[in-house]
Structure 1
């Protein structure tokens, strides 16, 4: 579009901050288009040149991405309602003091917002005016393949059937908006619209005790998280393989599945969200699919790790169709299969029993990681790592003997240590006795319905 590449006279703008420069530039762009379309003449097309302000978050991001002028305008017009609600309305009032309809400019009113919310038509007008070919080309900025969609920056809201696609509002992704306006990561609230909670850990990789085979598989996942963009884009594998990564963590409770997921997020700087299946699964027909759709739509193009704990509840084997309920339950599994396959990020399913997961899912996993109950060596390491450094033991209490005799998981061991330490403190003692240790072990065994011989 010729208006984007004009090298004519640069508009000088005196500002005090990066945002002020950006809004002043956008104002010049809008005024240029008004003058060209409604007055028949206009000064040179404004040139983006923030100079010293490029170190500020918004302008620094634009510089790092090397955005062309047209894409800068798309971004700024989408951002402006969030920082200056009356911005577009005030410019229109200055240029058209007598008022009047401007259908070419696009824009809609919101339910709460009292200013003008820009649409795709607004961008068409600013970048191409009334030039039909140029207006058609503008739709490329809202394509799923465009940088804006791929990087989770912005998109066009879906419009009612029969209305022009470009009349949809420009929606800035909440995560991106938070980054540019507060310089912080966006944290969605857990609720019906987003049935998941962020989980993290203060532990390190050294605190995770797994068999060498399992740890090797986990490190392969970490490699994918770090380098999959290079594989898909720079090495040209995008045409051959699906963009996402699907994994099954299988093993008994307490063997480190959740901790592994949080550590993967911690060391690759990606937030981990554990899906609350109680808020996803519904007895009402079609509701489960809607809940899943909202979840995956929210996570699309985000660098999030989705962690489905106790996944059997929703990824379980499909049944023979005996009634309408079975039919719709199977449809839910099929729908979920489609969404997981299409999701570009990392999805981890955790299950106590691998065989409970529908084979339609397991065939599509890139990796199935088995988390086994720890053996003697792993149990002894877990005991040593989790016992407070200031704790000592009475002479008849040997961690080695306890690790050999009692088959417990890492989660069991943490619970036992908490119990015996509190009990020892309550008795005003400094040394842990064998009797107290065995009480803690027995408590964990009974909790899981296991028999124990002391």
Structure 2
């Protein structure tokens, strides 16, 4: 007979066990608090979670002790099982309000929103010494912050928060963390103001990357680092002298292959590449740069992404004199980004059209600076032939002559081929003619402000 009993997956089972334990701790702590007991508080034993569950793995990877698990469970409860927190709604009848010790942010809503103060109550009750000792749980270098991404958010309603309490904001976890704990695998983040990065992908392969020999040598040097990082740092004992990340500057005219190279680097090494447009961030979200990019850096470090900063001179150009508060704020954002890049254990690539746009003081932070140049006639012939390899060409389409005659970048050649293909099909031809190519080249040159 077939067993029709619903099966609970191990990820959900682990979360239910942890929030159930949280409920036991809340009940025991409240009973101890209202009894005004002088006896030492006995924490209910934490459960042994299913092996292989996402929560089990995260606790082990972060090295969380019982207190750390409790704070994590408290932060998860509003999303996983809000009813677990309902006992905190008990009111202090003497003053007809909730107990300030419980630390709710918004007491007028259907759900209790726990804060760091709530966590301190569970960990220390009414014992001031224990509460102070437990505050280290929210230090920037604690695993809850560094490895899990727990934050103490902004106070939503100042009239309902404990004035002056730095820990009175709500406990918050990144959405990707909550989803990963529920589903077992992290979701691919979507581009948004809160996540200003977009994954790069391409159908091209490494052999399609046509660059001068010297540039390819330098790119292969970066691959060598990614493939041998563990040997260099651990086996050869250089971890104390070298940073675990690698920072590179790509500079050169538009269309010379900077973005494609970064994308194919990821494809070659099996790493995901995320592009961050700093010019967009600065123009639309000024003042939010640190907040928005913090999530990107945290995920990049956790998942070993390659970060590609396009238009890098928008923030990494020459620093301005601090003649106003806006200037000081801009320089603070630059300092923050530089520090995050310095600390990032992933490959970080910054791209700019002009090398001179990057402050010379920043160059010492790069392990490599690669100048992308316009292709010469030989490379242009390879680019044309590679681009047109499957395109039916008429007899007058002479790529060797076109490559010699017209100084175009790879990006411009891509635009020309698209334009010529459209032109040929619009006139009812099954082949792209030399005239189609030359007309498209003329249009591309005019777009760049040049003439044939």
What's the TM-score, normalizing by structure 2? 0.77
- 1:359–1:334: structure 2 CA closer, same or farther, 3 Å change rule? farther
Correspondences of 1:243-322 after superposition (within 5 Å): 245-265=246-266, 267-275=269-277, 277-281=279-283, 288=286, 290-303=287-300, 306-317=307-318
Q: Which runs of 5+ in 2 are unaligned?
A: 1-10
Contact 1:178 1:185 in 2 (8 A): yes
Shift of 1:157: 3.1
User: Take 2:278 and 2:152, find their aligned partners in 1: how far apart are those partners?
Assistant: 29
- SS of corresponding position for 2:318: coil
- SS of corresponding position for 2:250: strand
- 1:60–1:151: structure 2 CA closer, same or farther, 3 Å change rule? closer
Match of 1:153 in 2: 149
| 1:195-225 deviations in Å (ceiling 9; x for gaps) | 5555443433333222232233334445666
Shift of 1:434: 1.9
- SS of corresponding position for 1:166: coil
User: Take 2:150 and 2:101, find their aligned partners in 1: how far apart are those partners?
Assistant: 22
| 1:227-252 deviations in Å (ceiling 9; x for gaps) | 77997899887775667654321101
Q: Which runs of 5+ in 1 are unaligned?
A: 1-14
- 1:280–1:101: structure 2 CA closer, same or farther, 3 Å change rule? same
User: Take 2:308 and 2:389, find their aligned partners in 1: how far apart are those partners?
Assistant: 30
- SS of corresponding position for 2:298: coil
How many residue pairs are counted as aligned between the two chains?
421
User: Take 1:103 and 1:229, find their aligned partners in 2: how far apart are those partners?
Assistant: 50
Contact 2:276 2:309 in 1 (8 A): yes
Correspondences of 1:423-442 after superposition (within 5 Å): 423-442=423-442
Shift of 1:318: 5.1
User: Take 1:168 and 1:230, find their aligned partners in 2: how far apart are those partners?
Assistant: 44
Q: 2:192 aligns with which of 190, 210, 214?
A: 190
Q: 2:77 aligns with which of 76, 80, 86?
A: 80
Shift of 1:274: 2.4
| 1:31-73 deviations in Å (ceiling 9; x for gaps) | 233344444588773232134xx44433444355564333222
Match of 2:443 in 1: 443
Shift of 1:91: 6.8
Shift of 1:162: 7.0
Contact 1:337 1:361 in 2 (8 A): no
Contact 1:274 1:309 in 2 (8 A): yes
Shift of 1:110: 7.1
What's the TM-score, normalizing by structure 1? 0.77
Shift of 1:352: 1.6
Q: 2:114 aligns with which of 115, 118, 134?
A: 118
Correspondences of 1:3-402 after superposition (within 5 Å): 17-39=13-35, 40=37, 45-51=44-50, 54-62=51-59, 65=62, 67-90=64-87, 101-109=98-106, 114-157=110-153, 163-182=164-183, 183-185=185-187, 187-191=189-193, 197-222=198-223, 245-265=246-266, 267-275=269-277, 277-281=279-283, 288=286, 290-303=287-300, 306-317=307-318, 331=328, 334-343=331-340, 344-345=343-344, 347-387=348-388, 389=390, 391-402=391-402
User: Take 1:230 and 1:302, find their aligned partners in 2: how far apart are those partners?
Assistant: 24
User: Take 2:227 and 2:113, find their aligned partners in 1: how far apart are those partners?
Assistant: 37
User: Take 2:21 and 2:105, find their aligned partners in 1: how far apart are those partners?
Assistant: 22
